[in-house]
Structure 1
Amino acid sequence: MLSRERLPPRIILKYYLYQATATFGFFWPVFTIFLLDRGLNYTQIGLLGSISAAFVVVGEVPTGYAGDRIGRRNSLLVGSVLLALSVLGFLVAETFLAFAVLWVLWALGLAFRSGSGDAWLYETLEERLDEGEFTRVRGRGGSVNQWLSAATMLAAGALYSYDPRLPFLAGGLLLASSIPVLLSMPETNHQQDGETFTVLDAPPVLREQLTNPPLRSTVLYLALFFGIVNAADEFIQPIATGPAGLSETALGPLYAGFTVLAAVTSYFAGDVEELLSTQWALVLVPGLVGAFFVVPLLLPVAALPVFFLMKSARTAVAPIASGYVNDHAGAAGRATVLSAASMVYALARLPLKPLAGAVADATTPLVAIAGLGGCFLVAGSLVFAWERPGSDAAVGDGQPAD
């Protein structure tokens, strides 16, 4: 059992180091203005985002299957190589077609990492330490990532002002540094008793795991939550510089504040789970966010605190949700199930973002935020009435109950 008092084992320290290298903070705050400076317009930037989202959705299950076939660590290696190549490619790309290629590499890199990282950690804890510590270790790894993101975000503007390519050079090199870290980490024994997970095994695994309790209602409920949070992200800047009264120069410190709070919340995700229980953490925290989304419509000054709540809640829920899916996924197809859950989360975002945008265009961003909260409360209540998300309706071997 991992102790809270002593230094974590070497293998966990390596995982934290990997999380430190997996940050996009150097270039994320200047991403849009860099693309505009390269001659792209907002329509083209939006189209690139759609291309990326489409490839994430299409690539989630195949890359999750690849993680089950080639190994979790090797899948993470492929993802790191693709992400590093994508970011370093911004140093030379100048045409829309070139940027589209980089976006595809970016999306595939994210897809390779999405299921395999959590699968590697869960199985490493299961084999060597204690899988019951997954939420705590995953949350603290996320905290390391968020702290590094905040620090690198503060450097992004200075690097960009000196040379617009420098943030991407620094970001690409940082991502590339994850490769030797991953090579020093062991592979897990995810194929048990000589069993081979084939492409023909994937559909039955997904059907059994995601269309039966307890995962079906939980993944659907979480997809709604992650969907409204992702859609609400689009309105932070116009609300912050509009009804909330911040200047544009204050956006950088605001986003750094989001990241710092997310780091603290992620660190204590395990304590949140212990305090509320897994089920109620997954149900109550998203429900609280949905309810507070309505408040800025009545009191615009409350918008910024609500955004801080939204960011911290998401980082708290993510490791708890991943641990829950891990607990109820079979060992052979674990990365496939995790990637399929990520695909469901992405699918929920696709309609919510344009619908929220249409509402904001017709009314105001505050109305759109309130609409997202109301949508979640209604839809989430229906899911809860149908089947309680996060309930332990599974037998002891991790297979779904009948």
Structure 2
Amino acid sequence: MSDSGGARSAVLSYYLFRVTDSVGFIWPVFTLFLLWNDLTFTQIGTLSAISAVLVVVFEVPTGYLADRIGHRNTLAIGMGATATSIAGFVAASTFRQFVALYVIWALANALRHGAADAWLYEMLRERLDSDAFTRVRGRGGAVYQVVTAVTMIVGGLLYAVHPTYPFAASAVLSGLGVGAILLMPQTDADADQPGVTDALTTLREQFTRPSLRAFVPFIALFFAMVTTADTYIQPITVDVIERLSAALAPVAEDAVGRDGSSLSVPGEATLGFVYAGFALAGGIASYNAERIRGWLGLRRALLAVPLVTAAALVFPLAVPLLAVPAFFLMRAATDLSKPLVNQYLNDRAGSASRATVLSAAQMSYAVVRAPLKPLVGVIADATSPFGAIAALGGGFLIVGLSIVVVAQSVIADGPAVESTGVEESAG
């Protein structure tokens, strides 16, 4: 069914939601903020592990909830919970308080994970064409990243004034997101109400099929790797900036005199500009996801991108200055992968339980991430953040390549399912 006028309006409302979905104000300073509150890397890793475990607990129930009360309504509830959690960081100061906020954060993420992509896929299927998902999702990701780039710069400057200011700004933006979501139209699938037994049966059938059996663990490991590596971007980037500043100090003194230090930019503000660059790189990659899919093919892209990213994370251990280029590659690879992965999963999910299936995939990512973050935190405390990301990259190359070799066909070629069923195509 094609409704180009209605589809255009719905797509524009989706892009508006993506504007408010950004957490750019806090992203470049989040780890620094936790360190400012006297948390250790091990405690930070533990917080992330707690969140990941709770996501495992929440994902399927919230995906089922989305299929029951509607993807849009669930998304609005999740955005409200996000605003509440972020606002809480303004007042929190102890580890226990941060644990409580991470519980709310995990619930918010679980509510939003399956709902947004399920809503978009169903809306396009009803009003335009589900094959447009990669293009619209990719461009939505580009909108998100452009907004994120701007808010990251502002967030870094706000952090330099006071560490809590970026969180106040981000809470306001997330609050506005609730209104943006309510502008999005309902979809016919929002009226579908699969039973609990049906939902569990769907999950068992979907995740034991050849097209997903090896794919989900492989992608779960990739997303766990990049999410864990994100924790160390801030301290590593600050370290690289300090190394460059020390190396260039004599040149700067010769150029502007001994008082040239007055021209220096606060470290947190510099970090905001670096993160803005990460966001723009991710936005460009996301915007071109459909083009890259056509160039490489979905299967090759989803195999090559994780492996190349993992290899890039190993090199900074020997050459620290390669860390920032590696992070640029990692951010671009992550944002490129998301629309491709979700296209692959959506094509293999039936309409009635689409959000449940997508949430179950997110749950699998959290299952891998939960033990990985505290483990890598221990490695970082024992060695250095550089050692931590090298361990992540090397570990993925070993395990990921093993999955590829053993499974032989990690990613299936060809079409997947009919839009209302779960039968796999033989193609």
* TM score, norm. by length of structure 2: 0.84
Matches within 5 A, 1:42-61: 42=40, 45-61=44-60
User: Contact (CA 8 Å) 1:73, 1:116: kept in 2 or not?
Assistant: yes
Amino acid at match of 1:235: Y
Match of residue 75 from structure 2: 76
Match of residue 322 from structure 1: 342
Tell me how far 1:17 sits from its aligned partner: 0.5
CA shift in 2, pair 1:80/1:309, >3 Å: same
CA shift in 2, pair 1:330/1:232, >3 Å: same
CA shift in 2, pair 1:58/1:137, >3 Å: same
SS in 1 for 2:196: coil
Amino acid at match of 2:119: W
Tell me how far 1:112 sits from its aligned partner: 0.4
Tell me how far 1:379 sits from its aligned partner: 1.9
Matches within 5 A, 1:244-283: 245-246=243-244, 248-249=267-268, 250-283=270-303
**Which residue among 316, 329, 333 is the counterpart of 1:296?**
316
Match of residue 423 from structure 2: 399
Tell me how far 1:48 sits from its aligned partner: 3.6
SS in 2 for 1:399: coil
Tell me how far 1:303 sits from its aligned partner: 2.4
- Per mean C-alpha deviation after superposition, the further-off stretch among 157-166 and 18-27 is 157-166
User: Contact (CA 8 Å) 1:240, 1:246: kept in 2 or not?
Assistant: no
Distance 1:355 1:265 in 2: 30
Distance 2:425 2:98 in 1: 46
Tell me how far 1:401 sits from its aligned partner: 6.3
Match of residue 123 from structure 2: 124
User: Contact (CA 8 Å) 2:347, 2:417: kept in 1 or not?
Assistant: no
Distance 1:69 1:155 in 2: 39
Tell me how far 1:158 sits from its aligned partner: 3.5
Match of residue 24 from structure 1: 23
Distance 1:356 1:368 in 2: 6
Matches within 5 A, 1:339-358: 339-358=359-378
Tell me how far 1:400 sits from its aligned partner: 3.7
Distance 2:358 2:24 in 1: 25
SS in 2 for 1:26: coil
Which runs of 5 or more residues in structure 1 are unaligned?
none
Tell me how far 1:162 sits from its aligned partner: 4.8
Tell me how far 1:277 sits from its aligned partner: 1.0
| Cα deviation 1:336-375 (Å, max 9, x = unaligned) | 1101101111111223333334444454544443333232
Amino acid at match of 2:281: L
**Which residue among 366, 388, 392 is the counterpart of 2:409?**
388
SS in 2 for 1:9: helix
User: Contact (CA 8 Å) 1:213, 1:394: kept in 2 or not?
Assistant: no
Distance 1:131 1:198 in 2: 25
Which runs of 5 or more residues in structure 2 are unaligned?
246-266
Match of residue 39 from structure 2: 41
CA shift in 2, pair 1:81/1:329, >3 Å: same
Matches within 5 A, 1:2-401: 9-32=8-31, 34=33, 41-42=39-40, 45-93=44-92, 97-162=96-161, 164-190=163-189, 196-242=193-239, 245-246=243-244, 248-249=267-268, 250-385=270-405, 386-392=407-413, 396-397=417-418, 398-400=422-424
User: Contact (CA 8 Å) 2:311, 2:393: kept in 1 or not?
Assistant: yes
Distance 2:391 2:351 in 1: 39
User: Contact (CA 8 Å) 2:157, 2:272: kept in 1 or not?
Assistant: no
More helix by share: 2
Distance 1:165 1:367 in 2: 30
Distance 2:167 2:389 in 1: 32
CA shift in 2, pair 1:290/1:168, >3 Å: closer
Distance 1:121 1:185 in 2: 10
Number of corresponding residues? 396
CA shift in 2, pair 1:61/1:256, >3 Å: same
Q: Percent identical across equivalent pairs?
A: 47
Tell me how far 1:224 sits from its aligned partner: 1.4
CA shift in 2, pair 1:238/1:168, >3 Å: closer
User: Contact (CA 8 Å) 1:56, 1:108: kept in 2 or not?
Assistant: yes
SS in 1 for 2:338: helix
Tell me how far 1:155 sits from its aligned partner: 1.3
Distance 2:84 2:381 in 1: 37
CA shift in 2, pair 1:179/1:255, >3 Å: same
User: Contact (CA 8 Å) 1:191, 1:197: kept in 2 or not?
Assistant: no
CA shift in 2, pair 1:189/1:49, >3 Å: same
Amino acid at match of 1:218: F
Tell me how far 1:92 sits from its aligned partner: 4.5
CA shift in 2, pair 1:383/1:79, >3 Å: same
Tell me how far 1:242 sits from its aligned partner: 4.0
User: Contact (CA 8 Å) 2:312, 2:393: kept in 1 or not?
Assistant: yes
